[in-house]
Structure 1
Amino acid sequence: MSRRSLHTPAPDAAALRARLDRARGAAAKADTDALLIAPGSDLRYLIGQAGGSFERLTTLVVPAEGAPALVVPKLEAPGYADIPADELGIDILTWVDGDDPYRLVAGRLGKPGRVAVSDFTPALHVLALRGALGAAEQILAGPIVRELRMRKDAAEIDALRKAGAAIDRVHARVGEWLRPGRTEAEVGADIAAAIVEEGHDRADFVIVGSGPNGASPHHDVSERVIERGDVVVVDIGGPIPEGYNSDSTRTYAVGEPRDADVAETFAVLLAAQRAAVAAVRPGVTAESIDAAARDIITDAGFGEYFIHRTGHGIGLDVHEEPYIIKGNDLPLEPGMAFSVEPGIYQAGRWGARIEDIVVVTETGVESFNGRPHELVVLDA
């Protein structure tokens, strides 16, 4: 019956209280009576702990007016003992098997007209809440909460900077493991261990895409044996103890590349990634950063081989707002952090990607990754 909550160093109570106050204000601005926040990154953002989502309901009720309440099964309550509930003004409402927790939420809210439910709340809870709340309209909380989380504060930026430095240390060691005769899976296992050794809680993902596998952006690893002359995409990351994530891609060659077009093609990719990073500053749109990279790749004749957006936001989640993609006219603001990761993927042959995490500053941009962006040619 044991459950393990996700414990990470939390912001101080004053910072969390300010986040809860902003959440209440955001709910009111969205003409929503309450936010219902399920375990996960939104909960961690607001109270400093993610908890866990199971068949028993746990939810943070954040009303537009009034005190928030954490509705939690009594057997799970000890996992939330570190939350400074008194300082945050949070009431803890426990329930036991046989009680109806959905009615507990409804009793807390009275007769709301509209509630916003966390995007990743399990359907079994969404439907039960719908039944308990009667005529209340349910909407997604994501569009409301993302307005809070997109703009990182100084402590969050420091954590992302720390994560970036940690993953840079892993990329600096890739030459220890990436050699002819080894499988992608063997190299990936060494990288995953190093991710933890260099300061992460765990390896969240390890992509080692060698040769033709590099043309699949989300390849993972396989039993393919790495060969001399392969171009290899290495995309790695994970959370540090503070809960914030790294995500960085570099492209390697195991000895001199066997394909004659690698150097010329990679030069195009390098120019595109540099141009996109250089374009980041307050006031420009997210889609303009995508265009800065995509136009260079397209003009060079590789447009059909760039098959994903240029970037994604990052923080407590590896992928979050803002998304750096055509059609997103969101103006960038200081504190917004995201990846810049154009790629060129030639199916059946090879692929390449360069990825940094950057943050918008008051005057421009700061990159959290400092490893060389050029194709890294390893001795083989």
Structure 2
Amino acid sequence: MNALYRWPEYDAVELHRARFARVQQVMREDGLDALLLVGPDHIRYATDFRAHLTNESEWFAALVHREGNAELFLPYIDETIEAPYPAMPWISRVHPVASWSAATANPRTWVRAVAARLSASGTRSRIGIDAVDQSLLAGLREEAPSVEFVPAALRLHRIRRQKHPIELTLLDAVSRVNAGAMEAALGAARVGGTDHEVLAAAMAYQQAAGVEFVTHSVCNLRNGSGDWFAAGRRFSAGDPFFFDIGCYGPGGYASDAGRTGFVGEPRDEHLAAYEHLLTAYHIAQELAVPGARASTLLAAANEYLEAQGLGRTPYAIGHGVGLRICELPTLFSPGLMDDDVALVEGEVIALEPETTVVVDGVETVLKIEDNFVVESHGLRRLTVAPDASEFVSA
């Protein structure tokens, strides 16, 4: 069904209040007067402003003061505007910066605009930053010598792990839409059709449903591990394939999921390998309870796969999902992540095991991915396809 999804109504002001309370606590604990943010996910979390206009996110910045008000730097205005958004009164003003180019392509213009606001108080201040480019940061230090800049990104990533109930509502909705898009993609695979057609069906479903942004859309047909991209390859009878798709729904919350499919009747060897992948997937899901260490999920799944003579998952078996399509926690191996964290109740994760099987000298990659919320008893799957009653046209 390609139709507008009936997205949940929610209290955006309450969501902002709850998220900013966490941000404000970080600023107080770290002695920060403000945050200078350029990441669209950090900007959304701290201000609720949608700064994800295109896949290039280097156009926007936000200066978020500890008292709660924020100033934005936007590429589509030519003057400062006071109180620009009545529904978001905490955004006190917006300022112009260079249009339609990375901040690093017009560094003097960007530095001049931001430094003017940093220096407005006339007192020494301590500002937390996320991913501000080093060339811009050097310019700011020269223009605003009384300002001390300190890293804040890691703290901001960590406070987002445990989700507010409203966040869970929005994550559930976008996951359902993405699950429906996967069903549409599987239904589009046909002998003689292309990998692009499969992804086009998924995108049509997502866009018709009313997502904010399609994040990624990849399809592996007769490719090796790590070769994710569609290339106009045509399906033959019996072909296995997988795709991985994602999107942001209203409110900016993400879903990241994937499926393996078969065109017609699969070969016995491919089907057996897929069934083993599902078993490994189930093993990881059963382990994913509050308190479980991140590394144990991948280790257990790979131990099973390798015991069957199949290829192991060569990357993290999963990750957090929220205002960023991939965020903390990282579910990988010790040494390939900073912390082997324990899962916590209330966070949302994606699990995505992969395996490879060689049949007649040809390597085939199989994969599956869903989104889950970690609850007290274990996981609850969010990527469940919606029924017709969940759409506006129903």
Distance 1:307 1:104 in 2: 46
For the Cα contact (< 8 Å) 1:169–1:198, is it kept in 2?
no
Decide whether aligned partners of structure 1 residues 148 and 325 sit closer, same or farther in structure 2, where only a CA change above 3 A counts: same
Which ranges of structure 2 fall in alignment gaps of 5 or more residues? 1-8, 99-108, 386-394
- Give the one of 186, 205, 209 matched to 1:194: 205
SS of the counterpart of 1:277? Answer: helix
Q: Which amino acid aligns with 1:70?
A: E
In the alignment, what sits opposite 1:375? none
SS of the counterpart of 2:196? Answer: helix
SS of the counterpart of 1:257? Answer: coil
Distance 1:80 1:302 in 2: 59
In the alignment, what sits opposite 1:299? 307
Deviations along 1:286-337, one digit per CA (max 9) or x if unpaired, are 222222322222333335x421110111111111111111223212112211
Which ranges of structure 1 fall in alignment gaps of 5 or more residues? 1-8, 372-380
Decide whether aligned partners of structure 1 residues 185 and 100 sit closer, same or farther in structure 2, where only a CA change above 3 A counts: closer
Determine if the alignment matches structure 1 residue 118 to structure 2 residue 121: no
Determine if the alignment matches structure 1 residue 325 to structure 2 residue 302: no
Distance 1:57 1:48 in 2: 13
For the Cα contact (< 8 Å) 2:184–2:201, is it kept in 1?
no
- Write the mapping of 1:164-175 to structure 2, written as runs, cut at 5 A: 164-175=175-186
Distance 2:121 2:270 in 1: 62
Distance 2:34 2:269 in 1: 57
In the alignment, what sits opposite 2:295? 287
Distance 1:174 1:329 in 2: 35
* Identity across matched positions, percent: 24
Decide whether aligned partners of structure 1 residues 322 and 108 sit closer, same or farther in structure 2, where only a CA change above 3 A counts: farther
- Write the mapping of 1:55-134 to structure 2, written as runs, cut at 5 A: 58-63=61-66, 66-72=67-73, 75=78, 81-82=84-85, 84-86=87-89, 88=90, 91-92=92-93, 94=95, 100-108=113-121, 110-112=123-125, 114-119=126-131, 121-134=132-145
Deviates more, 1:289-298 or 1:348-357: 289-298
Residues matched between the structures, number: 353
C-alpha root-mean-square deviation of aligned residues, in Å? 3.0
For the Cα contact (< 8 Å) 1:201–1:239, is it kept in 2?
yes
Distance 2:46 2:97 in 1: 25
Distance 1:93 1:173 in 2: 41
In the alignment, what sits opposite 1:374? none
Distance 1:345 1:123 in 2: 41
Instruction: Tell me the TM-score normalized by structure 2.
Output: 0.79
Distance 2:41 2:299 in 1: 30
Report the CA distance between 1:279 and its aligned residue: 1.4
SS of the counterpart of 1:238? Answer: strand
- Write the mapping of 1:1-380 to structure 2, written as runs, cut at 5 A: 11-38=11-38, 40-51=40-51, 58-63=61-66, 66-72=67-73, 75=78, 81-82=84-85, 84-86=87-89, 88=90, 91-92=92-93, 94=95, 100-108=113-121, 110-112=123-125, 114-119=126-131, 121-134=132-145, 137-210=148-221, 212-213=222-223, 215-217=224-226, 219-258=228-267, 260-303=268-311, 305-327=312-334, 328-345=339-356, 348-370=362-384
Instruction: Tell me the TM-score normalized by structure 1.
Output: 0.82
Q: Which amino acid aligns with 1:59?
A: A
Report the CA distance between 1:140 and its aligned residue: 3.0
Distance 2:273 2:59 in 1: 53
Report the CA distance between 1:354 and its aligned residue: 1.0
In the alignment, what sits opposite 2:104? none
Deviations along 1:129-170, one digit per CA (max 9) or x if unpaired, are 232343755343221111221111111111111112112222
SS of the counterpart of 2:266? Answer: coil
Deviations along 1:267-295, one digit per CA (max 9) or x if unpaired, are 22111111111212211222222223222
Distance 1:83 1:311 in 2: 39
